[in-house]
A and B are shown apart, each in its own frame.
Chain A
Amino acid sequence: MGKLVVLGAGVSGHTAAMHAWRKLKGKHEVVVITPNRNYNWIPSNIWVGAGTMKPEQVTFQLPNVYKKLGMELIQAKATAIYPEGKTDEPRPFVEIAYTDEARSGQTGRVTFDYLINATGPRLEFAKTPGLGPHGGHTTSVCTYGHAAEAWEHLQESIGRMKAGERQKILIGTGHGMCTCQGAAFEYTFNVEHALRKAGVRHKADIHWISNEFALGDFGMGGVHMRQGGYVTPGNIFAESLFAERGVEWTTQAGVTEIQEKKLKYETISGDEGEMEFDFAMLLPPFSGVGMKAFDKAGTDITGEVFAPNGFMKVDADYSGKPYEQWSPSDWPETYQNPKYSNLFAVGIAFAPPHSISKPMKSPSGTPIFPTPPRTGMPSGVIGRQTALNIVDMMLGRAEEPTRKSSMARMGAACIASVGKGFFDGSAVSMTVHPIVPNYELFPETGRSLRYTTGEIGLAGHWIKHLLHHGFIYKAKANPMWYVIPE
Chain B
Amino acid sequence: MKEQKDSLHQHEFATKPTWITRHKRINLIWQFIRFLILNVKMLRMVRLH
Contacts and interface: CB of A to CB of B under 8 A. Distances in A.
B3 to A, nearest CB: 14
Interface string B19-37: 0000011101001101100
Contacts of B38: 429, 455, 459-460, 463
A458 B41 contact: no
B42 A246 contact: no
Interface in A222-263: 236, 239-240, 242-244, 246, 248-249
B46 interface: yes
Interface string A420-459: 0001101001010100000000000000000101011111
Interface in B1-49: 10-17, 24-26, 28, 31-32, 34-35, 38-39, 41-46, 48-49
Contact of A412 (B17, B28, B45): B45
Contact of B49 (A239, A411, A426): A411
Contacts of A433: 45, 48
Interface in A367-397: 377, 381, 385
A410 interface: yes
Nearest to B36: A459
A431 B17 CA distance: 21
A188 interface: no
B49 A413 contact: no
A248 B10 CA distance: 8
A225 to B, nearest CB: 12
Contact of B45 (A243, A385, A451, A459): A451
B28 to A, nearest CB: 8
A453 B31 CA distance: 16
Interface residues of A, number: 35
A485 interface: yes
Main secondary structure of the interface of B (DSSP, over half): helix
Most buried by A among B16, B34, B38: B38
A458 B26 contact: yes
Contacts of B12: 243
Given A456-B25, A457-B24, A459-B31, A431 B44 contact: yes
A338 B41 CA distance: 36
Nearest to B11: A243
A486 B42 CA distance: 11
Which interface residue of B11, B13, B28 has the most chain A CB atoms within 10 A? B11
Q: Name the residue among B17, B24, B25, B49 with the largest chain A CB count within 10 angstroms.
A: B49
B26 A411 contact: no
Nearest to B13: A239
Contacts of B48: 410-411, 433, 451
Interface string A458-486: 11101100000000000000000000011
A458 B22 CA distance: 11
A405 interface: yes
A58 to B, nearest CB: 21
A431 B28 CA distance: 22
Contacts of B25: 426, 456-458
Contacts of B42: 413, 431, 463
B10 A240 contact: no
A422 B6 CA distance: 35
A249 B44 contact: no
Contacts of B11: 242-243, 246, 248
Given A244-B17, A423-B26, A453-B41, 6 more contacts: A239-B15, A411-B45, A457-B24, A458-B28, A459-B34, A459-B35
17 contacts: A236-B14, A239-B10, A239-B14, A239-B15, A242-B11, A381-B49, A385-B49, A405-B49, A411-B45, A413-B45, A423-B26, A429-B38, A429-B41, A433-B45, A458-B31, A462-B31, A485-B43
Interface of A: 236, 239-240, 242-244, 246, 248-249, 377, 381, 385, 405, 410-413, 423-424, 426, 429, 431, 433, 451, 453, 455-460, 462-463, 485-486
Interface of B: 10-17, 24-26, 28, 31-32, 34-35, 38-39, 41-46, 48-49
- Which 8 interchain pairs have the tightest Cβ spacing? A243-B14, A459-B35, A239-B14, A243-B11, A459-B34, A457-B25, A413-B42, A459-B31
